[in-house]
Amino acid sequence: MPFTRRDFLRGSGLTATGLGLGRASWAGIAAAATAPAAARQPAAAPHPAATGETAPAFRPDDWASVRAQFRLAPDYAHLSSFFIASHPAPVRQAIETYRRALDENPFGYLEGHMFEADKDKLWLQVCAAAAGYIGGAPDEIALTGSTTMGLALLYNGLRLKPGQEILTTVHDHYSHHESIRLAAEKWGGTVRKVALYDTGATVSVDQVVSRLRAAVTPAVRVIGITWVHSSTGVRLPIRAMADAIAAINHGRGEADRALLVVDGVHGLGAVDESVPSLGCDFFAAGTHKWIFAPRGTGLIWARPANWALVTPTIPSFMADESYLAWEDGRPPAGPTRASQASPGGFFAYEHQWATVEAFRFHQQIGRARIADRIATLNGRLKEGLASMKHVTLHTPRDRSMSAGINAFEVRDHAPSDVVRTLLEHRIIASTSPYKPTYPRLAAGIMNTPEEVAAALAVVRSMA
């Protein structure tokens, strides 16, 4: 009888006639095959230190030691690291360890750590690490490749009735707007955009909530917003907005309840809030920005009742029920689960699995301590920029209404010229991909007060 993946899924062992392997698992076989001859013992996962890289000493309470974990070029002040992350040493080590294991035994290692016993499935460890950091339960988390992928999966998976619409804002990113537009075109729905504030510098909670409340009509089924706007640096009061939506939903039937979808990528890892406490229904974010996880990683969080509203878009490799149902020629039993929404296909697994080390790195330093460091450094940036008469700051100075991104204008200087001038002084800034576009400076935990002061000095010299 042929051996199939179903045998893995149902927990049967590998019968390897002639090899004497009996019911050994591929996780154990792969670990034994890739271990040094003197230490060939089965193991569920590789140890991140076994890569040959000599990591700098890591003292989580010392910001200089934290900075030393990154391979950022030391002769530049990297004030745009929110764009895509440099990996700290533990993440680099984990990537290389998994890569080596896959190179040495690709079939055995992948089978053993994707499709066999739950204790060996490394993607389950990623979900557990993510839940340990953001809150919620591991089975509430779907794994994706980016914020863009997460948003597209959600909007394609939420089926609206005729006459229902999606409400979003003018402040959202291309990826959010396009995910909505492409999904709405498929089912013929309508989309509306509203402005939650006129200028970022003067935004308030009352203004945002009142404008949102006024925009939600009985036809609105989905509301798509962004936690921290990369255009202005504004951080939306998600909890207050969720409470307003909950009040609107009071008395609505379940099929008409307004669902809140949040793009959370520039808040996750930058502020000290658990995702479930925000009150949103769905939260999508890449983890390769402020979390410092490997490039090409991300997640979606939702409670089980909300996952049940989503139709998966891409076949999953992380859902036993979906595979077994396909084998049996029947629909999957029960409502959609987070694992079924996780897109399948073969990924750069060494990156996905190494995400565990990124969450661990954050937790070693402390989420609250990281948030305070980011707020302090960027507070200095904002106060310095706001004090210059030739500069217009578009980011709120209130730390509860901003996070780590600061957008501004320099009078008589095009945004690209501001970035170029900063680069000439070995300070890496960026421009926002919107109309209008602004220069941006963003300090992370790898930055120092001296780098902030140097950036302000260059901007001051442009008067």
pLDDT digits (tens, 9 = 90+) for 103-124: 999 999 999 999 999 999 999 9
Question: What is the layout of strands, in order, in the sheet containing 259-263?
Answer: 141-144, 298-302, 282-286, 259-263, 220-226, 165-169, 190-194
Q: At residue 265, what is the residue type?
A: V
What does 327-366 look like in DSSP terms, one character per residue?
A: HHTSPPSSS--HHHHS--S---HHHHHHHHHHHHHHHHH-
**pLDDT at position 31, please?**
58
What does 396-442 look like in DSSP terms, one character per residue?
A: -SSGGGB-S-EEEEETTB-HHHHHHHHHHTTEE-EE-SSSS--EEE-
Per 3-state DSSP, the chain is made up of helix, strand and coil in percentages (nearest 5) of 45, 15, 45
Q: Specify the length of the chain in residues.
A: 463
Secondary structure element (H or E) that encloses residue 222, with its range: strand 220-226
**pLDDT at position 168, please?**
98
- Residue 445 binned pLDDT confidence (cut-offs 50, 70, 90): very high
**pLDDT at position 29, please?**
54
**What number of other Cβ atoms are within 10 A of residue 240's Cβ?**
15
Q: Average of pLDDT values for 217-223?
A: 97
**Contact call for residues 128 and 138 (beta carbons, < 8 A):** yes
Secondary structure element (H or E) that encloses residue 314, with its range: none
**What are the Cα distances from residue 87, in Å, to 92, 143, 325?**
6, 19, 39
Q: At residue 346, what is the residue type?
A: F
Name the percent of the chain lying above pLDDT 90. 86
Beta partners for residue 141, in sequence order: 301
**pLDDT at position 19, please?**
33
**Distance from C-alpha of 447 to C-alpha of 438, rounded to nearest angstrom:** 21
- Residue 382 binned pLDDT confidence (cut-offs 50, 70, 90): very high
Going from the N-terminus, what domains does the chain have, and what CATH number goes with each?
A: 367-461 (3.90.1150.10)
The answer on pLDDT for 1 being more than 70 is no
The answer on pLDDT for 77 being more than 90 is yes
**What number of other Cβ atoms are within 10 A of residue 421's Cβ?**
18
The answer on pLDDT for 86 being more than 50 is yes
Q: Average of pLDDT values for 9-35?
A: 46
**Distance from C-alpha of 135 to C-alpha of 299, rounded to nearest angstrom:** 13
The answer on pLDDT for 375 being more than 50 is yes
**pLDDT at position 248, please?**
97
Token representation of residue 227: 């936690």
- Residue 307 binned pLDDT confidence (cut-offs 50, 70, 90): very high
**Distance from C-alpha of 145 to C-alpha of 168, rounded to nearest angstrom:** 23
- Residue 16 binned pLDDT confidence (cut-offs 50, 70, 90): very low
Q: What does the mean pLDDT of the chain come to? A: 91
pTM above 0.75, yes or no: yes
pLDDT per residue as tens digits for the range 262-297: 999 999 999 999 999 999 999 999 999 999 999 999
The answer on pLDDT for 436 being more than 70 is yes
